[in-house]
Amino acid sequence: MIAIDEPTPKTASLTSLALNATGMVITVEENCKNKKRLQELGFFSGSKVKFVHRGRAGGPRAFRIMGAVIAIREEDIESIIISGEVC
């Protein structure tokens, strides 16, 4: 994999999104085992994602994307890259 050293300000992992905040998906990291599954659920460049529910610490979190609410485990959330808050 080629690392791109372009300065990308304001991008962060989806884990950093605050509860009830909305972000814009940029990409899902290559090394994510479930990349394909996440993509087909709408985690794709340009999709708006809202963090809607937080379960217990270390457990899955729920996000609203493309009109549906999807629960995802932490390690997969980490590999979703978003650009800061949208609204």
Partner 1 sequence: MKPGAGGAAEAVYVVTLAGNPNTGKSTLFNALTGLKQHTGNWTGKTVGCFSGEFSYKNARFIVTDLPGTYTLDAASADELAAQEEILRHCCNATVVVADATCIERNLILALQLLEIKENVILCLNLIDEAERKSIKIDTELLSKLLHCPVALTNAVNKRGMAELYDAIYKTSKCEMSSEKLIFHQNGASHMENLINLAREITAETVVYEDTDCDRRDRAIDNAMLSRRFGIPIMLLALFGVFWLTVVGANYPSGLLAKLFGIIENALYNFLHLVNSPEWLIEMLITGIYRTLAWVISVMLPPMAIFFPLFTVLEDSGFLPRVAFNLDYYFCKCGSHGKQALTMCMGVGCNAAGVTACKIIDSERERLIAILTNSFMPCNGRFPTLILLAAIIASGIGGSALSALIVFGCVILAVCITFLVSKILSKTMLKGMPSGFILELPPYRKPRFLAVILRSITEKTLVILGRAVTVALPAGLLIWVLNSLTINGTSVILYISTFLNPFAVMLGIDGMILTAFIIGLPANEIVMPIALMCYTGASGLVSANNISAVSQILAENGWNVITALCVMIFSLCHFPCATTLLTIKKETRSLKWTFTAFLLPTAVGILLCFIIAQTARLLTG
> Nearest distance from residue 16's CB to partner 1, in Å?
20
CA distances to 2, 26, 27, 63, 83 from 6, in Å: 12, 14, 15, 28, 15
Residue (9 or 31) nearer to partner 1, CB: 31
Residues 60 and 72: beta-carbon distance below 8 Å? yes
Which two three-digit tokens encode residue 79? Answer: 């590999």
> Please, what is the Cα angle at 67 between 23 and 9, to 5 degrees?
10
Which of 8, 75, 84, 86 touches partner 1 (CB under 8 A)? 75
Which of 29, 54, 84, 86 touches partner 1 (CB under 8 A)? 54
Residue (10 or 54) nearer to partner 1, CB: 54
Which of 8, 13, 29, 36 touches partner 1 (CB under 8 A)? 36
